[in-house]
Amino acid sequence: MKGGDEAIVPPLPSSHPLDWKFSQVFGERTAGEEVQEVDIISAIEFDKTGDHLATGDRGGRVVLFERTDKKDNGGTRKDLEKMDHSVTRHPEFRYKTEFQSHEPEFDYLKSLEIEEKINKIRWCQTANGALFLLSTNDKTIKFWKVQEKKIKKISNMNVDTSKAVGNGCMASSSSSTPQLPNGGSCDGGYNHPSNDLLGAISSLRLQVVTSHESSLLARCRRVYAHAHDYHINSISNNSDGETFISADDLRINLWNLEISNQSFNIVDVKPANMEDLTEVITSAEFHPTHCNMLAYSSSKGSIRLVDLRQSALCDSHAKLFEEPEAPGSRSFFTEIIASISDIKFGTNGRHILSRDYMTLKLWDINMDSGPVATFQVHEYLRPKLCDLYENDSIFDKFECCLSGDGLRVTTGSYSNLFRVFGCSPGSTEATTLEASKNPTRRQVQTPSRPSRSLSSSFTRVVRRGGSDSPGVDANGNPFDFTTKLLHLAWHPAENSIACAAANSLYMYYA
């Protein structure tokens, strides 16, 4: 999937599905262990190199992991090729550090509690060996610097003990008579001041600063606050390395990383009368290479592409991506399941991946007539929409992501399952995996092949009330609405996925 202005030829599409294997787990639960609410992971993000991974949780903490298998191999590619043994190893990460990013607050003007849960994390450009990242809760964005600091200690000996005597007299190198530190002699005899001074200097030991083990220090550089009346759902870095956006339900603000007390409102969908409100912003992201372009999605299932060069306030969009509703398919749940919970640009910026409750859709920014591919994720849940509405599961916000080469997409589901689809031309890859040490242990029905557009529609009248059939999928496996895999991230350069199942971080490779 090559961008219009890209000269690099993309890799050839894979002809067979990837064989996913378990790599690591952090925070694994023991059988019967109760999960604390504050430990549940709420955000995952790889940095651009893929050597660092950050997670945020509902307790307001940010935990950083760093890759270790690259460091162990070392050497250039030529040196590695000369080795007798194979150096092909799956990605391995280790715990690096953690810090408290946000604390619970209370808005006294609105009598509103602001929870500390981390909604999003975004990595910024590194500088001088330090890591920089943005983290946000519902109201406040913070800019963090994480740097390795060497612990320095001062040696506690500043006198040469081998030349010290009795009551503090010191032996002079130029005289056998013991000398006091201030130039006097112990026997009361007269010595030339210069000789006494030389003796004291020769036996004096200056304080020495020594470096011991190093520690990681996280420091909050800036706080971007008081700019959103509604809950922040997205933050996204600009490719210029200087600015970023933050989005809530009705507005998108543009910030400069260096200026925390001022932002510019670039998108405002708030109507003059709130009773006229028909849709809200659900996600927003900058284009990966064009600093003037960004996209945002809405609760009506549409994606708008915005060009900042058109005007300071982007009330009008450059392009609108939405799929027309199939005739006769409208029902009580139509708008709810059409709401887009997440959008992501492909690495080259040519495609946008969107996730609504039922499907994944892949859009080409050069073609706004409809998605180029649609992947069915929750089609087997369509008969259960009444139950999902009753227990609020229908409002769950699942994230999505693309592989670095743009050939595959993935998203989460219930029962701690996640799906991987091939999106290259002609691919029929559709893999279902479970977030556990045995990812292929459970399988739900094979999702339908990607189609040009949604082929399914509501063919029956949905009735309110319970269902007589138990909660099982097409293969008879029970699905659990309480265990949901909402957050996951794909390594930018390799086939490696990190996903969150409650408080556990699972990593897989292929």
Tens of pLDDT, residues 398-412:
999 999 999 999 999
Q: At 280, is the pLDDT very low, low, confident or very high (cuts 50, 70, 90)?
A: very high
8 pLDDT more than 50: no
Distance in angstroms (rounded) separating the CA atoms of residues 143 and 212: 29
Q: Residue 215: enclosing H or E segment and its boundaries? A: strand 209-224
Sort 433 into a burial class: Cβ within 10 Å, 0-12 / 13-18 / 19+. buried
Give the 3-state secondary structure of residue 17: coil
Write out the two tokens for 182.
Answer: 């201030």
pLDDT tens column, 248-279:
999 999 999 999 999 999 999 999 999 999 99
Q: At 85, is the pLDDT very low, low, confident or very high (cuts 50, 70, 90)?
A: very low
Average pLDDT, stretch 304-320? 89
The average confidence (pLDDT) of the chain is 82
375 pLDDT more than 90: yes
At residue 76, the pLDDT reads 55
Distance in angstroms (rounded) separating the CA atoms of residues 319 and 353: 15
At residue 470, the pLDDT reads 42
At residue 168, the pLDDT reads 45
Please list the helix, strand and coil fractions of the chain in percent, rounded to the nearest 5, in that order. Answer: 10, 40, 50
At residue 200, the pLDDT reads 57
Please tell me which residue, 324 or 244, carries the higher pLDDT value: 244
Distance in angstroms (rounded) separating the CA atoms of residues 352 and 170: 79
Q: Residue 115: enclosing H or E segment and its boundaries? A: none
Q: At 71, is the pLDDT very low, low, confident or very high (cuts 50, 70, 90)?
A: low
Q: At 30, is the pLDDT very low, low, confident or very high (cuts 50, 70, 90)?
A: confident
Average pLDDT, stretch 178-204? 54
Worst-scoring range by mean pLDDT, 13-27, 269-283, 291-305, 374-388?
13-27
Q: Report yes or no on whether pTM surpasses 0.85.
A: no
At residue 107, the pLDDT reads 85
Distance in angstroms (rounded) separating the CA atoms of residues 437 and 23: 8
396 pLDDT more than 80: yes
Q: At 506, is the pLDDT very low, low, confident or very high (cuts 50, 70, 90)?
A: very high
Strands 400-402, 373-376: pairing is unpaired
Q: Do 253 and 228 contact (CB within 8 A), yes or no? A: yes
Distance in angstroms (rounded) separating the CA atoms of residues 97 and 65: 7
Distance in angstroms (rounded) separating the CA atoms of residues 8 and 49: 19
Q: What is the dihedral of CA 424, 501, 479, 450, to 10 degrees?
A: -10
140 pLDDT more than 90: yes
pLDDT tens column, 94-122:
999 999 999 999 988 888 899 999 999 99
Strand partners, 337: none
Number of H helices, E strands in the chain: 5, 33
At residue 191, the pLDDT reads 52
Residues 6+ apart with CB under 8 A from 139: 105, 107, 114, 225, 228, 231, 232
498 pLDDT more than 90: yes
At residue 510, the pLDDT reads 92
**CB atoms near residue 354 (< 10 Å):** 24
Instruction: Give Cα separations from 2 to 5, 233, 349, 434, 487 (angstroms).
Output: 8, 30, 9, 31, 27
Report the sign of the C-alpha dihedral through residues 443, 446, 450, 456, in that order: negative
14 pLDDT more than 60: no
Q: Residue 71: enclosing H or E segment and its boundaries? A: helix 69-73
318 pLDDT more than 50: yes
HEC string of 251-265 equals EEEEEECCEEEEEEE
Please tell me which residue, 183 or 156, carries the higher pLDDT value: 156
Sort 440 into a burial class: Cβ within 10 Å, 0-12 / 13-18 / 19+. middle
pLDDT tens column, 473-485:
544 566 788 899 9
At residue 55, the pLDDT reads 98
At residue 160, the pLDDT reads 54
φ/ψ (deg, to 5) at 296: -140, 150
pLDDT tens column, 430-446:
999 999 999 887 654 44
Distance in angstroms (rounded) separating the CA atoms of residues 102 and 170: 57
pLDDT tens column, 337-363:
999 999 999 999 999 999 999 999 999
Average pLDDT, stretch 36-49? 96
Q: At 491, is the pLDDT very low, low, confident or very high (cuts 50, 70, 90)?
A: very high
